C-alpha cells in the first residue's frame, strides 16, 4: 500500500506552474498543481477524459466551458470530457490544486 501526504507536494517555480504526480495507474492520475501568483494553466480540451479540481490552498479562477468561478480551499469543480478548461492564479498568494483525471491519457 502506498501512503502519501499532500503536504509533501509543495514545489513551486517562478517560471511556470509545476505539476507533481501524487499517484497514477493506467486508469487515472492524481497530481498537485502549484501556481505562483500570475501563473496559469492555459485553457485546453481533453476529448475523452474528465478532470476534477480541488483547491488545497490559496484562491484561483477556474474556467470550464463558458463559466468562470473563483474557488478557495476545500472547493472544487469538474471539467467534463470535451469541455475547454483552465486555471489562473490572479491572487497575490500561492495556489495549490489537487487534480484527478480519468481515464489516464498517457
Which residues does the chain have with pLDDT short of 50? none
Give the side-chain half-sphere CA count within 13 A for 105: 10
| pLDDT of 106 | 77
| pLDDT of 105 | 83
| pLDDT of 2 | 92
DSSP 50-65: EEEEEEEES-EEEEET
| pLDDT of 72 | 98
Architecture of domain 15-102: Sandwich (2.60)
Amino acid at each position: 500500500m502506498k501512503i502519501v501526504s499532500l503536504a509533501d507536494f509543495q514545489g513551486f517555480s517562478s517560471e511556470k506552474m509545476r505539476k507533481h504526480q501524487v499517484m497514477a495507474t493506467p486508469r487515472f492520475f492524481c497530481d498537485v498543481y502549484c501556481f505562483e501568483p500570475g501563473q496559469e494553466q492555459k485553457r485546453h480540451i481533453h476529448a475523452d477524459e474528465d478532470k476534477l479540481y480541488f483547491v488545497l490552498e490559496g484562491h484561483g479562477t477556474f474556467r470550464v466551458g463558458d463559466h468562470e468561478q473563483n474557488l478557495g480551499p476545500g472547493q472544487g469543480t469538474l471539467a467534463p470530457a470535451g469541455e475547454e478548461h483552465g486555471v489562473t492564479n490572479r491572487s497575490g498568494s500561492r495556489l495549490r490544486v489537487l487534480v484527478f483525471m480519468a481515464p489516464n491519457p498517457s
